[in-house]
Structure 1
Amino acid sequence: MTFSILTYDVKTGVYAGAAATGSLCVGGWVLRGDIESGLCASQGTAPSSFWRDDAMRRLYAGDHAADVVASLTGADSGRDHRQLSVLDRFGGTAGFTGAQSVAYAGVIAAQNIVVAGNMIQSRVVLDALIEGFQTSLGPPQIRLIHALRAAESAGSDVRGLQSAALLVLSPDAPPLDLRIDYSETPLNALANLADHVAQPPYCNWLGEVPVLNNRTHAPHQPADRPDTST
């Protein structure tokens, strides 16, 4: 039903994740993140919104990914129908796939990257997600879209795709949280949206927003200057 990727760049401190599915609103259901904590993806036949929120609380408290996954999945009697992947602030990763997940379903977890999928064509889709991200160049959002396209080409969700989303968290930039809740070509729509937010005037306004490495940033705005806030 869904495939997802969570990544961490040690050099830049950027967390970047993405997901796509043959259903609607994947961004709202699956991805969660915090620049001081990490990322998680909760998905499956009957995904738990509690898993994603509880995972972020535990990550913020400093828990390691493996401990978060073990704790949340072990306590949930409905876990057989769910899937969870977690990336912590140290780049550690872990994942869980319920026994009743629709085949093919699985997780590949390595340092600084974890991918997960269910109701996908085969494990090749997950391999393509990793390779697509690791072999691409450019900003994280472009690399994520490249990874999603690679996964789609490798077999995708067996139903095709209807929604896609990405989340990029940087210590030097505001969050980039892009969602295509429904489209006949969601990856094209996501790429188009990513291109638009990289253009003025929107991208210029982003430079005025406080970030982790400069929480107090507040530009002077003359009285005759147009208000560009959202």
Structure 2
Amino acid sequence: MTFSILVRDAETGRIGGAAATGSLCVGGWVLRGRVEAGMSASQGTAPSTLWGEAVLDEMQAGAPAPAAVTEVTAPDEGRAHRQLSALDLLGNSGAFTGADSVPACASRRDENLVVAGNMLSSEAVLDAVAQGYANATGTMPERLLAALQAGEDAGSDSRGLLSAALLCLGPDMAPLSLRIDASDSPLADLRALHDRATTGLYAEWARLVPTKEAPFRAPSEADFARLDETPRSE
């Protein structure tokens, strides 16, 4: 039903994830992240958003991603129909694929990266997503978008795609959380939304809001005057 990728930039400490599926609202169902914990992707034929939050709790408490995934998935009697992947702040990755997940279903893990998917045209989609990110240039969000496109080009969700999402976090940045919940062209729409969110007045405004490293940051009146076409709140 879904393919997802979670990544960490070892130089900046930023973390991110992207996902696409042949169903609705992949961003709300699949992707979770915390600057203090890492990233998670919970998916499957009966996905558990509880898994996505619980594995972040485990990692925030100090568990490495592989142990956190095991701790969360082992007690769940419905785990055969679910997938979970996680990436901690040190770049360790963990992944679980339930025995009754719809094929093609699997995961790929590497340092600072984990890819997972189910109901894919083939496992080649997973390799294409990972390679697409590795080969791409630009910012983390741009590379994640390239990874999703590579997955679609390699065969995608066997039903085609209906929704896509991107989530990037870092101690020095405002959250970038973008979702296309239903579209005939979700990857193109997600890329267009990313371009709007990372350029122009909106992007300038986003650089003025609080971050973990600057929790009390506030725009000045001069900033507001300069960005008077930018929304004051979101």
TM-score band w.r.t. shorter chain? over 0.9
1:193 alignment partner in structure 2: 193
1:99 alignment partner in structure 2: 99
2:232 is aligned with 1:228: yes
What is the alpha-carbon root mean square deviation over aligned residues? 1.4
* Aligned equivalents of 2:182, 2:139: Cα separation in 1: 24
**Number of residue pairs aligned between Structure 1 and Structure 2:** 230
Amino acid at match of 2:179: R
Distance of aligned partners of 1:224 and 1:95 in 2 relative to their CA distance in 1, 3 Å threshold:
closer
Segments of structure 1 that go 5 or more residues without pairing to the other structure are: none
* Aligned equivalents of 1:5, 1:15: Cα separation in 2: 11
> What are the within-5 Å matches in structure 2 for residues 1-230 of structure 1?
1-221=1-221, 225=225, 226=228, 228-230=232-234
Amino acid at match of 1:24: L
2:174 partner SS: strand
* Aligned equivalents of 1:157, 1:7: Cα separation in 2: 21
Segments of structure 2 that go 5 or more residues without pairing to the other structure are: none
User: Normalization by structure 2: what TM-score?
Assistant: 0.95
Deviation at 1:199, TM superposition (A): 2.0
* Aligned equivalents of 1:118, 1:110: Cα separation in 2: 19
Aligned identity (percent) is 49
Structure 1 residue ranges (4+ consecutive) displaced by more than 3 angstroms after TM superposition: 222-227
Deviation sequence 1:118-158 (CA, Å, 0-9, x none): 00011110000011001101111111110000000101000
Deviation at 1:224, TM superposition (A): 8.2
User: Normalization by structure 1: what TM-score?
Assistant: 0.96
2:13–2:89 contact (8 Å) kept in structure 1: no
Deviation at 1:73, TM superposition (A): 1.0
2:161–2:186 contact (8 Å) kept in structure 1: yes
* Aligned equivalents of 1:208, 1:9: Cα separation in 2: 23
* Aligned equivalents of 2:84, 2:151: Cα separation in 1: 19
* Aligned equivalents of 1:110, 1:215: Cα separation in 2: 32
* Aligned equivalents of 1:84, 1:116: Cα separation in 2: 8
2:182 partner SS: coil
2:39–2:86 contact (8 Å) kept in structure 1: yes
Amino acid at match of 1:64: P
2:108–2:126 contact (8 Å) kept in structure 1: yes
